[in-house]
Amino acid sequence: MKEIKFLNCRIDLSKKVFSPRVETEYWVEKAIREIKGKNLKILDVFAGSGCVGIAILRNLKDSRVDFADIDENALAEIRINAEKNEIPAGQYRIVKSDLFENLKGKKYDVIFANPPYVAERRMEEVDKDVLENDPGIALFSGKEGLNHIDKLLKKAKNHLTNGGLIYFEFDPKQKETIKDILEKEGYDNFQFRKDQFKKYRWIKIVK
C-alpha cells in the first residue's frame, strides 16, 4: 500500500511507516471539530506519516504544527506528505526528537499523540500482516505497552500552555492503568472517550 486517504488528505506510505487506522481517523476528526476556529500552536508527537498534523493543517488553516518523531523514515515521510497536501512551509516544522527531548522550552496549545502502545506480552495477538508491514518502533512499548504513554504524561504538562489540551490514543485494555498514571502525575481534568466501535480508545486531557 503506497497511499491512503486520511480525512480529506492523501497520505503517502512509501517509507514503510505506521499505516494510519480508521479508529485514529475517527477521533482526530472529533478533536479537530472541538478546537476548530482557533489560532493554535499544535504538536503532533510520534507523528509517523504525519497524517494527524496534516489533517489538522488542512482543516485549521491559521494554526501551526510541529511534527516530532525519532524515526528518520517518518521524518522523510512527513516531508513528502506535507508537500503532497500543499501545506505552506511556514505553517509547520519537522523535528527529530525522542518525545520532547529536542523541544526544550516549547509550549503548545494542543498536543496530539498516537504513541506505540502494543504490549510486548501480547505480541502473539497481533495480526501477522501488521507485524510484517508496520515498523515495530511504532507498535510496541514495553511489556504492558505503556512505556511511551507513561513518559508522555510525565513530561507533557511542561509543554502545555495554561488550559492546554492533550489528545492521545490507547489500547482499551489500558484504560484503568492510564487513569492511575494520570492521577499520579497530577492530571485531574480528563475524559476517556470511545471510538466508532464503542471501545474506549482516546482521551482528552485539560491542563
Contact 166, 113 (CB under 8 A): yes
Q: Give Cα separations from 39 to 35, 82, 187 (angstroms).
A: 9, 19, 25
Residue 141 has pLDDT above 70, yes or no: no
| Cα–Cα distance, 172 to 151 (Å, whole number) | 19
User: In 3-state terms, what secondary structure has residue 15?
Assistant: coil
pLDDT digits (tens, 9 = 90+) for 62-95: 999 999 999 999 999 999 999 999 999 999 999 9
pLDDT score, position 117: 74
Handedness of CA 176, 180, 182, 186 (dihedral sign): positive
Domain residue limits at 122: 3-206
Residue 32 has pLDDT above 90, yes or no: yes
Provide mean pLDDT across the span 159-167.
Answer: 96
Check which CATH number belongs to the domain holding 116 and give it. Answer: 3.40.50.150
- Return the C-alpha cell found at 160: 502545555
| Cα–Cα distance, 106 to 70 (Å, whole number) | 17
The residue type found at 4 is I
pLDDT digits (tens, 9 = 90+) for 169-178: 999 999 999 9
Total number of domains in the chain: 1
| Secondary structure E strands in the chain | 3-6, 9-12, 41-45, 64-69, 92-96, 108-113, 160-169, 190-194, 200-206
